[in-house]
Amino acid sequence: MTVLYVIRSKFMEVLTSVLPITVMVLLLHFTLTPMEGPMIWRFLLGAVLIMVGLTLFLIGVDIGVTPLGDYTGTALAKSNKLWIVLMAGAVLGFFISIAEPGLLVLANQVDFVTSGQISANSILIIVSIGLAVMLALGFLRIFYNIPLYKVLMVLYILIFGLAIFTSKEFLAISFDASGATTGILAVPFILSLSVGISKLKKDSKASEKDSFGLVAIASTGAIIGVMILDLVKRTSSFSAELETATGFSYSVLGAFVSLVPDMVFESVIALSPLLVILLLLQKVVFKLQKRELRKMVNGFIYAFLGLVIFLIGVNGGFMDVGTTIGTKLALMENKGYIVVIGFILGVVTILAEPAVYVLTHQIEEVTSGYVKRIAVLVPLSLGVGAAVALSVVRILVPGIQLMHYLVPGYIISLGLMFIVPKLFVGIAFDAGGVATGPMTATFILAFVQGAANAFEGADLLVDGFGMIAMVAMAPIITLQLLGLVFQSKAKKKGAVKKNEVHK
């Protein structure tokens, strides 16, 4: 496999993710929401930078970060000591979360909207601690063969118990952080680490379903962490504002150049700990050949350059346009436009998400072709579209709170766990992280916040967040319902015995 082939394949993945949003923006620019020339040019340049940045970042993850997880998992299995596995997994999980692009964007947006009252660093650190702790708990579940549905039931009872005491501002941010932290960096790394812990099991057989559910358990740590931060912080009032970019005092190119120092610094802080860990483990444990080590270090360089370029693209104009479109649509007399546009954005985003294609292939393979990819894609995309549309409705109807969606949604999700094939429980809860990709954490987040900022009667900090949480919940319900369909089809065809389906 040549370098050019790898670059081309990754770029095509990213292109299919960013292009639908770009086309939507251009259509809206020429129809409902015309924008100033400099703004649309900043958006287009930002889109190009995002495509280049994500391509480099994903290549870096593949040849640098994921192999670090693979080698670490193998080394931990050889140690044959569970406490070492738990400690090492937690430490690596913490630093992986810190470097997750989606979480970096969300944390910066929270900081920006609250004028620093909720700092980006506090969100990054507490979410990463939560993920690390729950990752260790997920390892314990695999090692001791504890049923996933029992662990998730306990965790979500704890979450909704804490929700009673959590302020409405932190409530939305906590559920958003859960979706944002399990993204394009964390998910492959967590899954590669899970291989090691599976080898530690007493039967020495790494079950395929062991990897399912680990991401779901880890992501609950983000929710719990932010809720605890609120209980400790106890800020009585917040001020929230969102400036919309309407004019520019410098050139289009200058807007991006001015961001370079801050984005370089942010990327160094995010990725350097992982590189230090790699070099330390190489000296103590790995003992890799120089060629392999050099390849992994090059992977970190790719990831660093990609993260810098991605963040510059996001902050240099891409999110500004999302905010502006949301603002203009919210101010229109016919509010139906913004609900419909929100639905379409949700649909095209999930259809274009590269990780969704991996997930749908995985489901088709696990079910031996009984559940076709198209049977997953259609309801999944409609579910995510509905999630974004409902987030917009929450802005337009002040009486609707996030919990009015999440409580019944998770009651359904947790109830389904008891009747759905257990393999699908893990797949469904993990899919929430898959659905909340880079475009959800950037453009659609900005779109919803623009609407919340413009609509009279909406609270930017309360209503401007929570969309990622809704998008993450939609696949949990959708894919568990598909699990019931699979179970029914399998029983009818006699292909799977009843006790096998419920393993």
Give dist(CA 140, CA 142) in Å, integer: 5
Ramachandran assignment for 35, one of left (phi > 0), alpha (psi -120 to 50 degrees), beta (any other): beta
Ramachandran assignment for 466, one of left (phi > 0), alpha (psi -120 to 50 degrees), beta (any other): left
pLDDT at position 500 = 46
pLDDT at position 246 = 46
Tokens of 275: 């590189």
pLDDT at position 198 = 65
Would you say residue 360 has pLDDT above 90? no
C-beta of residue 180 within 8 angstroms of C-beta of residue 100: yes
User: What's phi and psi for 243, nearest 5 deg?
Assistant: -80, 130
Give start and end residues of each alpha helix (H) in 234-372: 252-257, 260-281, 290-313, 319-331, 336-352, 354-366
3-state class percentages of the chain: helix first, strand second, coil last, to nearest 5: 80, 0, 20
Pick the closest to residue 471 from 211, 175, 191, 190 (CA basis): 175
Which of 132-146, 310-324, 349-363, 407-421 has the lowest average pLDDT?
349-363
Give dist(CA 142, CA 212) in Å, integer: 10
Would you say residue 382 has pLDDT above 60? yes
Pick the closest to residue 131 from 222, 69, 227, 65 (CA basis): 222
pTM: 0.86
Give dist(CA 402, CA 391) in Å, integer: 8
Tokens of 114: 């609250």
Give dist(CA 315, CA 46) in Å, integer: 8
Residue-wise pLDDT for 37-87, tens only, equals 888 999 999 999 999 999 999 899 889 888 888 888 778 777 777 788 788
Give dist(CA 227, CA 229) in Å, integer: 5
The pLDDT > 90 percentage for the chain reads 44
pLDDT at position 116 = 85
Confidence band for 249, pLDDT divided at 50, 70 and 90: very low
Would you say residue 496 has pLDDT above 60? no
In eight-state DSSP terms, residue 247 is: -
Pick the closest to residue 213 from 279, 145, 130 (CA basis): 145
| 440 contacts: CB under 8 Å, gap ≥ 6 | 102, 179, 349, 467, 468, 471
Q: What is the mean pLDDT of residues 222-242?
A: 82
Tokens of 60: 């870096």
Tokens of 383: 């579910």
Confidence band for 499, pLDDT divided at 50, 70 and 90: very low
| 236 contacts: CB under 8 Å, gap ≥ 6 | none
C-beta of residue 384 within 8 angstroms of C-beta of residue 342: no
pLDDT at position 123 = 94
Helix (H) or strand (E) holding 250: none
C-beta of residue 241 within 8 angstroms of C-beta of residue 115: yes
- Of the two residues 386 and 114, the one the predictor is more confident about is 386
Residue-wise pLDDT for 404-441, tens only, equals 999 999 999 999 999 988 778 888 887 877 778 788 88
Residues 67, 68, 72: CA angle, nearest 5 degrees: 115
Would you say residue 385 has pLDDT above 90? yes
pLDDT at position 30 = 94
In eight-state DSSP terms, residue 145 is: T
pLDDT at position 503 = 47
Amino acid letter, residue 228: I
List the chain domain ranges: 7-501
Residue with tokens 């909720």: 118
pLDDT at position 502 = 46
Pick the closest to residue 212 from 418, 427, 27 (CA basis): 427
Residue-wise pLDDT for 260-284, tens only, equals 999 999 999 989 999 999 999 898 8
Give dist(CA 252, CA 134) in Å, integer: 43
Would you say residue 107 has pLDDT above 70? yes
Residue-wise pLDDT for 445-492, tens only, equals 999 999 999 998 888 888 999 999 999 999 899 889 888 888 887 777
3-state SS, one letter per residue, for 35-71: CCHHHHHHHHHHHHHHHHHHHHHHHHHHHHHHHHHHH
The pLDDT > 70 percentage for the chain reads 89
pLDDT at position 92 = 86
Q: Give CA separation, 191 vs 44, 139, 187, 276, in Å.
A: 34, 11, 6, 21
Residues 363, 352, 41: CA angle, nearest 5 degrees: 165
Q: What is the mean pLDDT of residues 107-131?
A: 91
Q: What is the mean pLDDT of residues 158-164?
A: 94
- Of the two residues 195 and 499, the one the predictor is more confident about is 195
Give dist(CA 464, CA 442) in Å, integer: 13
3-state SS, one letter per residue, for 354-366: HHHHHHHHHHHHH
Give dist(CA 256, CA 199) in Å, integer: 47
Would you say residue 297 has pLDDT above 90? yes
Mean pLDDT of the chain: 85
pLDDT at position 310 = 92
Would you say residue 342 has pLDDT above 50? yes
Which of 37-51, 194-208, 312-326, 374-388 has the lowest average pLDDT?
194-208
Would you say residue 1 has pLDDT above 60? no
